[in-house]
Amino acid sequence: MKSDDENISNAKKASPQSLLSELDGAINKAVPWANRASIAEDAFYCWWAGQSDDGRKRKRDGEPTPWPWDGASDTRVRLVEEKIRELCAVCESAWTRGKWEFAGVDGFDFIKAGKFNQLLKWQIKTQMGRNAERQRKLATKYMFMYGLAIIAVSWSKKERLGLIDIAPIDLARKFGIEKEWLAYTQNPMIFSGQFAPETLAKAQLVVDLDTLLYAPITEEYNPEKSLALWLGEFYPDANDAACLVAAKSLREKQTAQIPQKRVVKECPAWSAFLPFENIFFPTETEDLSEARWIALRKWLTRTDVESNAEWPKNFKEELLKHEGQSSTKVLEGLRKNSERWKRSQRADSEFVRSTDNTGLYEIYEFYYRATDERGLEQLKKCVFSEHVKGGNGEYILAEDGIYDENGDYPFVALEINPDGDCLIDNYGIPYALYTHQMEVKEARDARINAKDINILPPVVRDVRDMGRPFQLGPDVPVYESVRGSTQWMKTPDSKTYLATEIENTVKIDIDRYCGTSNTGVPDNVTQAIQSYILSGYLSSMGELLTRTFQLDQLYLPETVVTRVSGIIDKPFKISREEISGQFDVYITFDPREMDSQVAVEKAKQLVEIIQLDRNGIIDINKAVSLAVSMVDPLWAEKLITDAQKGALKEISDEQNNVSLIMTGQEPPMREDEPSAGMRLQYLQNLLAKSPEVQGKIATNPFVKSLFENRVKHLQFALIQQRNAQTGKLGVNPVMKA
């Protein structure tokens, strides 16, 4: 008998049973990962058994008095959360300030790269918008908290039902008789004679449509209802009532409105997933792109299930019988059975994440590679539920088919500590710093307890006064049998400075580990750790951008591409075979640039280096772009245009100057004309090829004078530029470009 692994790899023999068997095995093997995740959550959220809302240790019924006393400090030191927030902020700065670069492998010129860069930024910031930003930030937090996060990249198409106007000509178009109907409406007698066989069918359709629209309603025949049936065929988004209303309006007014879905948003979508919570894979997986299978667990509402028209009716009916049932009980029960929690039976101590699935229904989307009968590997997808079986005991599939003929999994992994062989060997900041945070908590509790006992130390009283009332406060009498027998107990020397030293030392260790700022950690160490973290993070973000852009090339309409980026010389939409390996997107960022002073100093150094460039080996345009982006990325985005746009702007400006000349106005003369050669070339070409300009100059002496003066001005500016070059070189080049 073949193993589940072998069955999954065979497209003919793969079954839900094989997939679920693999899933159950992965869930059981993921217990160590779930335990680390539990510890990470304890550290991040500052959870432990027996907590009280006021941050004090309180005696509970049937439990011993807490140490050192009832009401002692039980501080929640959110140090781990603070460090994760700082690191997320570092990554956010790298994402915001980083430079997106398209690296082509097949003559990917810089102009096209600039256009695609502009398109991708517009799409992510505008089209994908707030949800994409939220999912990316959530995945970043998952990465630091658990050590591993996964982002899914999919194509999202949002449709909305709206009303459209229709007329008889639209129905004729649906019937395929638009020309014949127009001819008929102009001359109804056109079809009164004999017809050739090839036109007989269309002529009959014209008559049928005329009957539907204009024939009276009789007991034997109701054309209004028949027209409504045809409208239901042509406009499947409209229900019977809407079709009947539209049919009545068409017959009475020759126009109507009918519901039809229209696309209101179509773009890539990102979704953040937490391993072994809502995404699953074999525990031995080292590279997500090479996983044998990947499964997404989704919780749907009743409306989600019932409104899915593509799923079989028996699947939906059976799924709705299993409200709230989960297939991962073994992982969900780890916290309440752990040593840290089992002593406390309070409900709030068992909280991990929201596990209340009331009103929700569990399904799985399985992605797996399988080989077809031709021996070709395909990426397949099937949707089913562990709880839904038919009468024969077989699982009922909601979806089953080829997801992608040649593509990879639509997932990107974010790792923080890729030191182990497998993905689930990763662990996050909280797991590494759990003990450190508890040390800081103990030091903080000791200082608070020392403060409390010094403000209000224990009181010593005579044994005979035990029954007498006792209260501390201004002007409150103290009753004692022997004068002076009631007195403060001498408090111990708590040496709180030791607790402060411990806390500061631990914080230095934490900041050195995390790469966060601390005066006790050398700057070069902090920058090195940040560079190490950001190199992996930005690599994952580059992969995310690459996969996002690949989806654009598959599905984004050419009209949108042209509107955003201008005309592309080659088709933008291409097949997966053409996309594969065509280019990659990567992000570069220097962590030191988060310090504005460092960024400004780097920009100044760049200016000084440019001044040393005697041979012109530095691209000035790129240098200026780099300097501006270091100072402020927003400035770079708003101010800098690519070389092609710069040239178009110069030509457009000179076209305006020509318009002024043609109307008898003199254009402004600038002392500095850096693009004088380009402008002069444009005027010369215009004079040679435009009969209108030639005629205007020939017939209007004033226009001729203005035009010649403009040419002389540009020629002089060009000479001045060459003289400046001669001053540097000592001679004019003999062979001019």
Q: How far apart are CA 209 and CA 183, in angstroms?
A: 14
Q: How far apart are CA 23 and CA 280, in angstroms?
A: 7
Q: How far apart are CA 701 and CA 723, in angstroms?
A: 32
Count helices and strands (H / E) in the chain: 26, 12
Q: What is the pLDDT of residue 323?
A: 92
> What phi, psi does 405 have (nearest 5°)?
-65, -40
Q: How far apart are CA 676 and CA 199, in angstroms?
A: 66
- Would 252 be classed as within a structural domain? yes
Whether 279 shows a pLDDT value over 90: the answer reads yes
Distances (CA, A) of 586 to 129, 150, 539: 21, 18, 7
- Would 50 be classed as within a structural domain? no
Q: How confident is the model at residue 332 (pLDDT cuts 50, 70, 90)?
A: confident
Whether 543 shows a pLDDT value over 60: the answer reads yes
Whether 467 shows a pLDDT value over 90: the answer reads no
Q: Which of 245, 264, 283 is the last residue of a domain?
A: 264
- Would 651 be classed as within a structural domain? yes
Whether 257 shows a pLDDT value over 90: the answer reads yes
Expressed as residue numbers, the domain containing 706 is: 643-729
Bridge partners of residue 384, in order along the sequence: 364
Map residue 125 onto helix, strand or coil. Answer: helix
- Would 636 be classed as within a structural domain? no
Q: How far apart are CA 657 and CA 363, in angstroms?
A: 66
Map residue 280 onto helix, strand or coil. Answer: strand
Rg (CA), the chain: 38
- Would 650 be classed as within a structural domain? yes
Q: What is the pLDDT of residue 50?
A: 79
What pTM did the predictor assign?
0.72
Whether 683 shows a pLDDT value over 90: the answer reads no
Q: Work out whether the CA dihedral 214, 217, 222, 225 comes out positive or negative.
A: positive
3-state helix, strand, coil in the chain (%, to 5): 55, 15, 35
Of 482 and 133, the one with more pLDDT: 133
- Would 175 be classed as within a structural domain? yes
Of 214 and 627, the one with more pLDDT: 214
What is the mean predicted confidence (pLDDT) over 155-163?
A: 85
Sequence-distant (≥ 6) Cβ neighbours of residue 336 within 8 angstroms: 342, 349, 350
Q: Which of 264, 284, 312 is the last residue of a domain?
A: 264
- Per residue in 482-534, pLDDT tens? 888 888 888 878 888 888 999 999 999 999 999 998 999 998 899 889 888 98
Please name the helix (run of DSSP H) or strand (run of DSSP E) that holds residue 102, with its range, or none.
strand 99-104
Of 158 and 235, the one with more pLDDT: 235
Sequence-distant (≥ 6) Cβ neighbours of residue 420 within 8 angstroms: 426
Nearest residue to 679 via CA among 714, 705, 720: 714
Supply the DSSP string of 222-262, one letter for each residue. -HHHHHHHHHHHH-TTS-HHHHHHHHHHHHHHS-EEEEEEE
Q: Which of 264, 299, 326 is the last residue of a domain?
A: 264
Map residue 56 onto helix, strand or coil. Answer: strand
- Would 187 be classed as within a structural domain? yes
Nearest residue to 123 via CA among 648, 575, 557: 557
Q: DSSP strand E in 644-732: where?
A: none
Quote the number of domains for the chain: 2
Q: How far apart are CA 139 and CA 273, in angstroms?
A: 7
Of 66 and 337, the one with more pLDDT: 66
- Would 255 be classed as within a structural domain? yes
Q: What is the pLDDT of residue 103?
A: 64
Whether 338 shows a pLDDT value over 60: the answer reads no
